[in-house]
Amino acid sequence: MARMALVTGGSRGIGAAISKALLAEGYKVAATYAGNDEKAAAFTADTGIQTYKWDVADYAASAAGIAQVEGDLGPIDVVVANAGITRDAAFHKMTPQMWQEVIATNLTGVFNTIHPVWPGMRDRGFGRVIVISSINGQKGQAGQVNYAATKAGDLGIIRSLAQEGARKNITANAICPGYIGTEMVRAIPEDVLNTKILPQIPAGRLGEPEEIARCVVFLAADNAGFINGSTISANGAQFFA
């Protein structure tokens, strides 16, 4: 029987690549999104992957959405916590609201996504938890104190869950992408990209969303059970943790 995978923020960017890669590997896939109904509908029409709308920062909404997914498609075996936002500013200009919004989505949202599926994984004796963190959670980044804090916190989550879930055949791992050629990154002015960003990357290029998706497929596999509490750095040799 096909495994069931849930990908938050799974209809755009890296999340869309992950959803499609898991589908191609034979998984049943559900993708969540936060607000863009038109793009979500287009994604479903293009891929056949069912999309569900909720705010991962809201625990009740997450629990209800996950219950609906499991009612429609079956118990969730693989959860990919990918949804995230940025509210960038120099620290002295960062407002409490900018801090709280990022914490709510990128850190609390990971709890809200994993917590409702964890008991079922324990009961069934199988689970794959994969969190999309960031190179900036490993090394920090000026102007992203809030974002870097959440992505570093996500690593603490997976390292702790790995220890709790191991005897139940549940793994928890993270992927830390560097600069990936998503719509957001490609919107950066070309001169900034060429003079400020690419020179930091020994590979000399941006990563592709599909390269992150391949990491997810690897970690999600049934035969990846001894890889637990690990972090895959996918950044073109920009930084070594």
Pairing of the two strands 127-132 and 78-81:
parallel
Q: How far apart are CA 76 and CA 198, in angstroms?
A: 38
pLDDT tens digits along 8-36: 999 999 999 999 999 999 999 999 999 99
Distance of CA 160 to the CA centre of its chain: 17
Q: Tokens 């055949």 belong to which residue?
A: 169
Share of the chain above pLDDT 90, in %: 93
DSSP run (H or E) holding 21 = helix 13-24
Each residue of 52-72: b (16+ CB within 10 Å) or e?
bebbbbbbeebbebbeebbee
Q: Can you give the pLDDT at residue 176?
A: 98
At 1, is the pLDDT very low, low, confident or very high (cuts 50, 70, 90)?
confident
Q: Can you give the pLDDT at residue 189?
A: 86
pLDDT tens digits along 78-87: 999 999 999 9
Residues recognised as catalytic: 147
Q: Can you give the pLDDT at residue 174?
A: 98
pLDDT tens digits along 138-186: 999 999 999 999 999 999 999 999 999 999 999 999 999 999 998 878 8
pTM, to two decimals: 0.96
Looking at every residue in the chain, the average pLDDT score rounds to 96
Closest C-alpha to 113, from 229, 47, 31: 31
Compute the residue count for the chain.
Answer: 241
pLDDT tens digits along 216-225: 999 999 999 9
Q: Can you give the pLDDT at residue 188?
A: 81
Share of the chain above pLDDT 70, in %: 100
Identify the DSSP state of 194. I
Which bin fits 66, alpha (ψ -120 to 50), beta or left (φ > 0)? Answer: alpha
User: Does position 233 have pLDDT exceeding 80, yes or no?
Assistant: yes
